[in-house]
Structure 1
């Protein structure tokens, strides 16, 4: 499962609907793997940040699914008409990878040959 962050930008002064999570979940397809959605009121530029938890075979697939679901929600849900998608990506967690590199010989994040 991947946590994909979707950044939204307001195109007008519309407030984020209180049922934004439901609106986005209602926009997912039955086989798209979106399990859970969370919404945070604002990012640095003032737009909402949406977290989509996506079951996928890899990061790129998870990002594609999250992008597709968000765009569908923005297009199909009239309550979200005042928003645009500005980015959709899995965020790297540097501390996690730094720890892996320190624990594995040679800086590998996968075991070397036996």
Structure 2
């Protein structure tokens, strides 16, 4: 399973609906194959969608999340926004070190 973040910026006036999380979850289709979704509103109209996806590779998961995001934007489930980037968040080496070496 991969966690993929899609970062977006809402169009001016940069107001995100209070029910953004519920709206996005309701807009997901079973065909999207999203195992879990997290929504993180941020400053000045920026927000991140965290998709948990079962895919064969990191690259496939990133393409999958971008596709779902673009569908949600196209069907106006999401507020008018620009997709800034899509990618697997990187973990600092200090956190990924298991100490077994």
Q: TM-score, normalised by structure 1?
A: 0.71
**Structure 2 match to 1:34:** 34
Between the two structures, name the one with larger relative contact order (CA 8 Å, sep ≥ 6). 2
CA distance 1:67–1:17, change in 2 (3 Å): same
Structure possessing the higher radius of gyration over alpha carbons: 1
RMSD over aligned CA atoms reads 2.3
Query: Shift in Å at residue 67 of structure 1?
Result: 0.5
CA distance 1:79–1:73, change in 2 (3 Å): closer
Q: Is the 8 A contact 1:23 1:77 kept in 2?
A: no
Gapped runs of 5+ residues in structure 1? 105-114
Q: TM-score, normalised by structure 2?
A: 0.79
Query: Shift in Å at residue 90 of structure 1?
Result: 0.2
**Structure 2 match to 1:85:** 83
Greater share of residues in strand:
2
**Structure 1 match to 2:67:** 68
* Aligned mates of 1:33, 1:96 — CA distance in 2: 29
Gapped runs of 5+ residues in structure 2? none
Query: Shift in Å at residue 50 of structure 1?
Result: 1.4
